[in-house]
Amino acid sequence: MTAVLETAGLGKRYRSTWALRDCDLSLPSGRVIALVGPNGAGKTTLLRLATGLLEPTIGTIAIFGEPATADSPEALGQVGFVAQEHPLYKSFRVRELLRMGQALNRLWDQDLAERRLAELDIPLDRRAGQLSGGQQAQVALALALAKRPRLLVLDEPVASLDPLARREFMQTLMTAVAEEDITVLFSSHNVAELERVCDCLIVITGGRIQLAGDIDALLAEHRLLTGPSNRMVSGPGVIHVTSGDRHANVVVRTGQGTVMPGWESHPIGLEELVLAYLRLAKADHGTPRRDNAKAVRT
C-alpha cells in the first residue's frame, strides 16, 4: 500500500544551518500522527516540506507516491494545511473566504464548510479579523477540511488557544477524522493532549528524527526501571537515567537488556517516553540513535 507520506534521506538547509537532516519516514494512512520536539527542532520545516511550501536541499519527499513539489499539483491538491498562526485575510468575511476556497480547489465541499461553521456558531458575514483566536483557528480548519484532503497537516494548531478553544478545535478535528478517510499530521508541544488524540508519534530534535512509530507499539517496547541509585546504568537500550538520593529511574528500550536483581520494571507513559527522548537528544546534542529513528509503519 502506498504510504501517505514517504521521505528518504530528506534534508533542508538554510545557509549553514541544517533545519532537517537524514529524515526517513513512511506514514501509514488513516492515522493521527503527532510531531513533537522543542523550539527550533525542525517541525515546521518538515511540515512545510510535506505541503510543498519548501523544496528539499537533499533527499526526497513523496505524497501518495508523487513528489511533494510545487510542480506536482495533483499530489499537493490532496493535502490540507493549517499554518501556525492560522493566517486568514483579516478584512475578508468568512463567506468570502469560503468563496475563495471554492474557486481555488477542485474538490471543494461548500456544504461541509458551512455545516461545520454553523455547528460552531461562526457567522459567515463576520470579517475574519473580528473573530476570536479560537474562531479564526476553526475557520482555518474548516477551510482546510472543505478541500477534502487525504492528508491534513497542522502546525501547532492550538498553541495560541485557551484550554476550552483548544478542546473544541481538537474535537472538530477528531470528528473529521472519524467521518472521513483522512490522515492527520500535526505538531504540538502538549504531550498530555496527544495521548487522547494520536495513534502515531514522531519525536524530532536538532533537525533529526529521534523516535517514530505507532504509540502503542512504542509504549510496549519501552519500560521504566526503578532501582538503587548507587549503580552505574548504561548500555545500548538505556534511553535516559534520572538519579535521586536513593532511587534511580531508567527508561529502557526492551529486548536490549535484562532487569538486574533489585530493580523493578514498570510500564511507561507517553509523557515519560517523550521526555526521555528529548533529554537523550539534549545529552547527545541532537545526534539520533539509528535504532530509534525507524519509520512509522503498520
Contact positions toward ligand ATP, by CB under 6 A?
Answer: 14, 17, 19, 37, 39-45
Quote the least distance from Cβ 95 to ligand ATP, whole Å. 32
Quote the least distance from Cβ 238 to ligand ATP, whole Å. 26
- Grid coordinates representing 79 are 493535502
Strand 32-36 and strand 183-188: the pairing is: parallel
Quote the least distance from Cβ 200 to ligand ATP, whole Å. 18
218: nearest Cα among 106, 294, 135, 127: 294
Question: Closer CB to ligand ATP, residue 124 or residue 159?
Answer: 159
> Is residue 230 within 8 Å of residue 203, measured between CB atoms?
no
151: nearest Cα among 257, 91, 65: 65
Strand 79-82 and strand 151-155: the pairing is: parallel
Question: Closer CB to ligand ATP, residue 45 or residue 138?
Answer: 45
Grid look-up 523550539 returns 39
Question: Closer CB to ligand ATP, residue 44 or residue 249?
Answer: 44
Question: Closer CB to ligand ATP, residue 19 or residue 82?
Answer: 19
Question: Closer CB to ligand ATP, residue 131 or residue 202?
Answer: 202
Quote the least distance from Cβ 170 to ligand ATP, whole Å. 18
> Is residue 281 within 8 Å of residue 263, measured between CB atoms?
no
Name the DSSP class of 288.
Answer: P
Q: What are phi and psi of 14, to 5 degrees?
A: -105, 115
Quote the least distance from Cβ 44 to ligand ATP, whole Å. 3
187: nearest Cα among 88, 55, 291, 45: 45
Quote the least distance from Cβ 41 to ligand ATP, whole Å. 4
Question: Closer CB to ligand ATP, residue 40 or residue 129?
Answer: 40
